[in-house]
Amino acid sequence: MDKIIVHGGRPLSGFVKISGSKNSALPILAATLLTRDQCIIHSVPDLSDIHYMLQILSHLGAQVERASGTVTIQAENVATVAPYEIVRKMRASVCVLGPLLGRHKEARVSLPGGCVIGDRPIDLHLKGFRALNAACRVEAGDVRVFADELRGSTVDLEGRQGPTVLGTGNVLMAATLAEGITVIEGAAAEPEVVDLANFLTKMGAKIEGAGTRRITVEGVKELHGAEHCVIPDRIEAGTFLVAAALAGTVVTLRRVCADHLKAVTNTLSDAGYKMDITRDTITLHGNGSPRPVHIVTEPYPGFPTDMQAQMCALLSRAPGESTVTETVFPQRFMHVSELKRMGADIALEGATARINGVPHLSGAPVMASDLRASAALVLAGLVAEATTEVNRVYHIDRGYESIDEKLAGLGAEIQRVKQGN
Ligand code: EPZ
């Protein structure tokens, strides 16, 4: 398993180009199963999660070709069973259920396991499929969904922890080929759901309200091929903004959608950072330690849970007391114990991290656990004294395209050490 070694203290400056969004590309790639025609998707990031999704699509029988950031897919004749040995590697595989149900009226996918950020149920996905007249069965670790015909109806997908992003996408995809009108109440409003809806509309779907909590779909007989460019990754962008805040002099992010990052840029502004923001660039002026702030993660447009770990790393340096409360994945604090090994002063009280800023972090060997926690540890290493060694960086490779090379391009002293498995 590879590790990343960061020598702290190097100032960051310059430009970094943000890649296409992982969380937008995954459901959009799954949506190509809805048509037998060819689809062309641009700005697909080179990530292991994307690789797994393309493996699943190929296994299902789709023709898949990748040329740098462009993926060409044709799902002329596809099977309807996604096997455990591939699905177990990535829980987002669950988003092939909706398109297979829509296209073939049946699908069988192994149940996604939990993960370190908490239990990852799909009860709301199944609630949506049942509302479309599908039956759902759990059999031998798989979930099987099937219907004689899909009929539109109204369904509320809001759960105890708020809306479901992939659940909204799954039900939306199935509803495009259901008979009649489907209304999804309590829908997720994330930009990634809007990007998926835009792609489905290019395929001939009839969708209104994407980006609001109420999405209306008028089913059509079939969908055709389409070409689409995936939106920039707002979480990668936020991660680099925190890197600039921690270690920057002046860092400019290119190919961002600044509109998607308002909760993050507003929080960084509250923490005392000056930013020059245009439609597709953000320049942050790093100026030493942040002011303490209080963050509560919420569904979009609130502060994103996927930026929570990175902010804990930044606020570890904020003189005074900050708090970070996690409402989406209340257990998502695997990074805290590792940051404390680097000298951070953080106390966990239920789903709230109480952070007292310290003047210095010290480099240490640390263990990556989930995608965003791993990124947070690399960020902390940028300003920690001496050397930080982040192990198990396969977690990072799931969601960040060449993060070590991009940080090195900004002046960080960082290298990836390949290790036998
Ligand atoms: C998506 O996961 C993202 N992943 C996650 O990003 C992100 O953290 C999450 O949305 C929230 O924004 C992808 O898009 C591939 P949810 P998703 O369904 O859709 C509960 C990353 O770092 N829930 O919106 O799986 C659930 O337990 C990843 O890139 C149910 O109760 O998340 C959670 O508490 C991590 N029943 C809350 O809803 C369900 O059927 C939100 O989950 C589904 C979800």
Q: Give the model confidence (pLDDT) of 15-59 as tens digits.
A: 999 999 999 999 999 999 999 999 999 999 999 999 999 999 999
Same domain assignment for residues 135 and 7: no
Please give the Cα distance from 93 to 143 (Å, whole number): 12
- Residues 410 and 385 sit within 8 Å (Cβ to Cβ): no
Same domain assignment for residues 50 and 181: yes
Give yes or no: 229 in active site: no
Give the total number of structural domains in the chain: 2
pLDDT at 421 over 60: no
Encoded tokens for 140 = 């031998």
Q: Which of 39, 95, 115, 257 is catalytic?
A: 115
Backbone angles phi, psi at 418, to 5 degrees: -75, 135
pLDDT at 368 over 90: no
Among 229, 246, 268, where does a domain finish? 229
pLDDT at 409 over 80: yes
With pLDDT > 70 as the criterion, what percentage of the chain qualifies? 98
Tell me how far CA of residue 44 lies from CA of 132, 179, 253, in angstroms: 31, 32, 18
Q: Give the model confidence (pLDDT) of 378-399 as tens digits.
A: 999 999 999 999 998 889 999 9
Same domain assignment for residues 12 and 30: no
Same domain assignment for residues 162 and 260: no
Same domain assignment for residues 236 and 360: yes
Mean pLDDT of 109-126: 80
Give the closest residue to 8 by CA, choosing from 316, 266, 236, 293: 316
Among 178, 207, 229, where does a domain finish? 229
- Residues 66 and 44 sit within 8 Å (Cβ to Cβ): yes
Pocket of ligand 1 (CB under 6 A): 23, 26, 92, 120-125, 159, 161-162, 164-167, 188, 192, 305-306, 328-329, 371-372, 399
From atom 7 of ligand 1, which residue's Cα is the shortest distance away?
A: 306
Domain CATH for 331: 3.65.10.10
Q: What's the CA-to-centroid distance between 117 and ligand 1, angstroms? A: 10
From atom 28 of ligand 1, which residue's Cα is the shortest distance away?
A: 306
Give the closest residue to 270 by CA, choosing from 311, 327, 328, 329: 311
Span of 54-68, 99-113, 121-135, 266-280 with lowest mean pLDDT:
99-113
pLDDT at 116 over 70: no
Q: State the pTM of this model.
A: 0.97
Same domain assignment for residues 74 and 47: yes
Q: What's the CA-to-centroid distance between 161 and ligand 1, angstroms? A: 10
Q: What's the CA-to-centroid distance between 165 and ligand 1, angstroms? A: 6
Same domain assignment for residues 196 and 316: no
C-alpha atoms less than 13 angstroms from C-alpha of 347 in its C-beta half-sphere: 4
pLDDT at 134 over 80: yes
Please give the Cα distance from 288 to 273 (Å, whole number): 9
Same domain assignment for residues 12 and 119: no
Q: Give the model confidence (pLDDT) of 320-357 as tens digits.
A: 999 999 999 999 999 999 999 999 999 999 999 999 99
Among 200, 229, 258, where does a domain finish? 229
Same domain assignment for residues 171 and 285: no
Using 50, 70 and 90 to split pLDDT, how confident is the model at 300? Answer: very high
Question: Mean pLDDT for the chain?
Answer: 95
Same domain assignment for residues 168 and 294: no
Domain that holds residue 308: 3-19+232-417
